[in-house]
């Protein structure tokens, strides 16, 4: 959700402008409505270029002959305030054009600030909320305050969420960066100081990174970082652990990140399982700041998450209720804190988030904490905002996921949910360590089974060919097949732009059945679960209404295969692990249908990988 980067100094890896553009290429998954770069050139002037071509903004910037520079900032945008045009692309400048700012987040009081600034003679050239920052800092500099002081002054009147970086022609040896809510990292590399939204932006220059916390402001120079808190008191920034390298953020010969990340799923599952079982048979999370006695007091679990992570959270309800015999509620994170949930110190609130930065989930967890709950986070990004604020963390070690559509992180989350269910069961004395052996053995076999499902891409592509003309898709499933149906529908709509809805199979007859006609496609998760016979009955219902049926069917299940028009076959696994296998052909179906439509599967329209605005 917008990506920012800033570099100051003399990078050993190339021209400063080139370094910024390389970082923007790795940040494009955060936003790609438009992109821009600003540099202070060797004449001491601000040079700025912006492009608003969704498919190629950064590539177009690459074709420019950039001047050599001592400091620069760059931005990829996911529009919130103002259309995705060149005028609204970042960096945005002050009246003089000699001060530039990039911003991720939303300035909530920008209208009143802009009105006051306009009355004081400032001229606005964009429709963005961000531009007020440039003019506010401009006023500080005009009063003779240095860049750090001017940014601090501006922060004093800004409301909302932001991660921002500011540079000015009058201060060519530094950048100033600040954060409130939206994520921000700073670091020092060989000859440079750097600022960026995430590790992907900065890893080309350094792994020596630190986390900027809320309301901190940092002056970044080549070789030094100076951080202040809201009161102006110097602070030491918390170092960030970086657990992946530059190669992991590249496509490595795959046509796109999505196909690479689908292929990486067996490894994502394997890594998430690694080192979980201690020699005494007990299970281990990554970080645990809760005593066993506290977990034994828990009488309810609430899971909060968005999108695919929410679907994984739905799987957790089955896993935790079955394993740990605790009641589980699953809540859409953006709704949770606006109702009046019953939360107290005996409630365990579990945040599920690939990025660990999704603002809706982060704010839900913060609300839960103020209500006294214990907070556990399942995150794929080490030291993410959610992970740092939680009482306990279970990392999904799936590696960086760049494609906007979540794939391998969903599987890793399903695995994490099973681990969490087992962990809670063990701590609460429902399962003895010896009783963990069988479910852990089943988990250990999962990477191989997922691998088999991933290898069937060619078969799925043939089904996609047969469905190429279809426009209306209904995904149905029961029990843990229901979240799989929702996830399959989400994948299809987000990357292929086809109408796709997921339903519990038993609900169709309560309304949605009216939508079905001869042109409809029903994708049924019909693997051999406890409710298989009921799903088969639901398949008969939709076939009777003329729909074509695609079935996710277990290997060797000829009976189900004969009932459906197209088979997506998958190997069999343990009931609670089936989502991690049954979802694979649905990911591949969405992928192949989108490819046939000529769409960019990594960067679907209107979407960004990490949603850091409410």
Q: How far is the CB of 493 from ligand M6R (least distance, A)?
A: 10
Among 301, 367, 405, 500, binds ligand M6R (CB under 6 A): 405
Give the helix/strand (H/E) hosting 579.
helix 578-596
- Joined tokens for residue 26: 């790795």
Other C-beta atoms closer than 10 Å to the C-beta of 191 total: 15
Residue 356 or 551: the one with the smaller Cβ distance to ligand M6R is 356
Could you say which of 317, 491, 595, 609 is catalytic?
A: 609
How do 216-221 and 46-51 pair as beta strands? unpaired
CA–CA gap between residue 218 and residue 179 (Å, rounded): 9
Query: Residue 188 has what DSSP assignment?
Result: E
Among 40, 390, 611, 613, binds ligand M6R (CB under 6 A): 611
Site pattern 553..582 for ligand M6R (x: CB under 6 A): ------------------------------
Q: How far is the CB of 178 from ligand M6R (least distance, A)?
A: 23
Sort 63 into a burial class: Cβ within 10 Å, 0-12 / 13-18 / 19+.
exposed
Residue with the two structure tokens 């021209």: 15
How do 185-189 and 209-211 pair as beta strands? antiparallel
Residue with the two structure tokens 């904490």: 369
User: Which region, judged by CB under 6 A, interacts with ligand M6R, from 27-35, 169-177, 179-187, 403-411?
Assistant: 403-411
Give the helix/strand (H/E) hosting 553.
strand 548-554
Residue 361 or 554: the one with the smaller Cβ distance to ligand M6R is 361
Site pattern 148..177 for ligand M6R (x: CB under 6 A): ------------------------------
Could you say which of 2, 306, 408, 595 is catalytic?
A: 2
Inter-residue contact 332 to 326 (CB < 8 Å): no
Interacting residues of 47 by C-beta distance below 8 A, sequence separation 6+: 38, 39, 40, 41, 66, 67, 69
How far is residue 292 from each of residues 103, 323, 428, measured CA to CA in Å?
Answer: 42, 17, 8
Q: How far is the CB of 132 from ligand M6R (least distance, A)?
A: 28
Q: How far is the CB of 233 from ligand M6R (least distance, A)?
A: 32
- For the chain, count helices (H), then strands (E): 20, 26
Residue 265 is a binding residue for ligand M6R (CB under 6 A)? no
Inter-residue contact 584 to 569 (CB < 8 Å): no
Q: How far is the CB of 257 from ligand M6R (least distance, A)?
A: 12
Which region holds residue 126: left if phi is over 0, alpha if psi is between -120 and 50, else beta?
Answer: beta
Sort 279 into a burial class: Cβ within 10 Å, 0-12 / 13-18 / 19+.
exposed
Among 587, 610, 612, 613, binds ligand M6R (CB under 6 A): 610
Largest CA distance in the chain: 80
User: Which region, judged by CB under 6 A, interacts with ligand M6R, from 6-14, 183-191, 575-583, 604-612?
Assistant: 604-612
Interacting residues of 571 by C-beta distance below 8 A, sequence separation 6+: 449, 452, 453, 554, 555, 581
Q: How far is the CB of 502 from ligand M6R (least distance, A)?
A: 13
Q: How far is the CB of 243 from ligand M6R (least distance, A)?
A: 17
Return the residue nearest ligand M6R (CB atom): 307
Other C-beta atoms closer than 10 Å to the C-beta of 309 total: 26
Among 16, 39, 66, 406, binds ligand M6R (CB under 6 A): 406
Interhelix angle 408-427/437-454, rounded to 10 degrees, is: 170
Site pattern 272..311 for ligand M6R (x: CB under 6 A): ----------------------------------xxxx--
How many binding residues for ligand M6R (CB under 6 A)?
Answer: 17
Residue 295 or 386: the one with the smaller Cβ distance to ligand M6R is 386
To the query of whether residue 534 is one of the catalytic residues in this protein, the response is no
To the query of whether residue 609 is one of the catalytic residues in this protein, the response is yes
Residue 263: HSE in the Cβ half-sphere, 13 Å Cα cutoff:
12
Q: Which of residues 471-490 bind ligand M6R (CB under 6 A)?
A: 490
Residue 347 or 354: the one with the smaller Cβ distance to ligand M6R is 354
Give the helix/strand (H/E) hosting 589.
helix 578-596
Q: How far is the CB of 598 from ligand M6R (least distance, A)?
A: 20
Q: Which of residues 490-549 bind ligand M6R (CB under 6 A)?
A: 490, 494
Closest by alpha carbon to 26, among 202, 195, 243? 202
Residue 404 is a binding residue for ligand M6R (CB under 6 A)? yes
Residue 309 or 569: the one with the smaller Cβ distance to ligand M6R is 309
How far is residue 353 from each of residues 350, 437, 492, measured CA to CA in Å?
Answer: 10, 28, 20
Residue 271 is a binding residue for ligand M6R (CB under 6 A)? no
Q: Which of residues 222-261 bind ligand M6R (CB under 6 A)?
A: none
Q: How far is the CB of 108 from ligand M6R (least distance, A)?
A: 21
Q: Which of residues 324-353 bind ligand M6R (CB under 6 A)?
A: 353
In 59-215, at which residue ranges do the beta strands (DSSP E only) sit? 69-77, 92-93, 99-107, 160-168, 175-180, 185-189, 192-196, 209-211
Q: How far is the CB of 286 from ligand M6R (least distance, A)?
A: 17
Residue 303 or 404: the one with the smaller Cβ distance to ligand M6R is 404
- Joined tokens for residue 326: 């605790």
Q: Which of residues 350-369 bind ligand M6R (CB under 6 A)?
A: 353-355, 358, 361
Residue 353 or 569: the one with the smaller Cβ distance to ligand M6R is 353
How far is residue 325 from each of residues 187, 307, 483, measured CA to CA in Å?
Answer: 45, 26, 20
Residue 41 or 401: the one with the smaller Cβ distance to ligand M6R is 401
Residue 154 or 492: the one with the smaller Cβ distance to ligand M6R is 492
Residues identified as active-site: 2, 609
Residues that bind ligand M6R (CB under 6 A): 306-309, 353-355, 358, 361, 404-406, 490, 494, 607, 610-611
């Amino acid at each position: 959700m917008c990506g920012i980067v800033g570099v100051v100094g003399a990078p050993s890896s190339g021209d400063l402008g080139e370094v910024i553009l390389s970082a923007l290429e790795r940040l494009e998954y955060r936003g790609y409505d438009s992109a821009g770069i600003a540099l202070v050139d060797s004449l001491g002037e601000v040079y700025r270029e912006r492009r608003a071509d969704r498919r190629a903004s950064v590539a177009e910037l690459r074709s420019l002959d950039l001047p050599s520079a001592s400091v620069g900032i760059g931005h990829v945008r996911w529009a919130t305030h103002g259309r995705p045009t060149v005028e609204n692309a970042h960096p945005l400048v002050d009246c003089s054009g000699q001060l530039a700012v990039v911003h991720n987040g939303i300035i909530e009081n920008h209208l009143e600030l802009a009105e006051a600034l306009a009355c004081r003679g400032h001229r606005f050239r964009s429709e963005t909320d961000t531009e007020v920052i440039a003019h506010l800092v401009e006023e500080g500099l005009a009063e003779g305050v240095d860049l750090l002081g001017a940014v601090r002054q501006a922060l004093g009147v800004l409301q909302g969420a932001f991660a921002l970086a500011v540079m000015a022609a009058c201060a060519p040896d530094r950048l100033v960066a600040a954060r409130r809510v939206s994520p921000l990292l700073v670091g020092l590399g060989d000859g440079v100081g750097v600022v960026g939204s995430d590790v992907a932006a900065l890893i080309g220059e350094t792994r020596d990174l630190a986390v900027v916390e809320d309301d901190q402001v940092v002056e970044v120079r080549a070789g030094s970082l100076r951080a202040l808190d809201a009161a102006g008191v110097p602070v030491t920034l918390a170092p960030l652990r970086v657990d992946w390298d530059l190669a992991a953020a590249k496509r490595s010969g795959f046509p796109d990140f999505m196909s690479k990340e689908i292929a990486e799923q067996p490894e994502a599952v394997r890594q998430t399982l690694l080192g979980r079982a201690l020699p005494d048979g007990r299970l281990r999370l990554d970080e645990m700041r809760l005593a066993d006695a506290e977990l034994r007091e828990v009488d309810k679990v609430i899971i909060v998450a968005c999108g695919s992570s929410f679907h994984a959270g739905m799987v957790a309800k089955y896993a935790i209720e079955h394993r740990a015999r605790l009641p589980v509620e699953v809540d859409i994170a953006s709704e949770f804190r606006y109702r009046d949930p019953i939360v107290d110190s005996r409630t365990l609130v579990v945040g599920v988030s690939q990025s660990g930065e999704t603002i809706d989930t982060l704010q839900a967890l913060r609300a839960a904490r103020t209500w006294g709950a214990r907070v556990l986070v399942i995150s794929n990004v080490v030291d993410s905002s959610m992970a740092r604020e939680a009482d306990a963390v279970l990392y999904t070690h799936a590696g960086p996921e760049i494609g906007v559509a979540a794939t391998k992180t969903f599987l890793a989350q399903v695995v994490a949910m099973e681990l969490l269910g087992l962990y809670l069961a063990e701590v609460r004395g429902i399962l003895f360590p010896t009783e963990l052996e069988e479910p852990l053995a089943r988990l250990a076999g999962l990477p191989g089974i997922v691998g088999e499902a991933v290898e069937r891409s060619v078969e799925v592509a043939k089904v996609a060919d047969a469905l190429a003309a279809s426009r209306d898709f209904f995904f149905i499933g029961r029990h843990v097949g229901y979240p799989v149906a929702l996830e399959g529908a989400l994948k299809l709509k987000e990357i292929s732009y086809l109408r796709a809805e997921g339903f519990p199979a038993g609900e169709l007859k309560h309304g949605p059945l009216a939508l079905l006609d001869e042109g409809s496609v029903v994708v049924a998760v019909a693997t051999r679960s406890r409710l298989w016979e009921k799903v088969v009955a639901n398949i008969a219902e939709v076939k009777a209404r003329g729909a074509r049926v695609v079935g996710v069917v277990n290997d060797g299940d000829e009976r189900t295969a004969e009932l459906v028009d197209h088979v997506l076959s998958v190997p069999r696994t343990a009931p609670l692990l089936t989502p991690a296998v049954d979802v694979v052909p649905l990911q591949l179906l969405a992928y192949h249908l989108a490819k046939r439509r000529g769409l960019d599967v990594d960067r679907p329209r209107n979407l960004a990988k990490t949603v850091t605005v409410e």
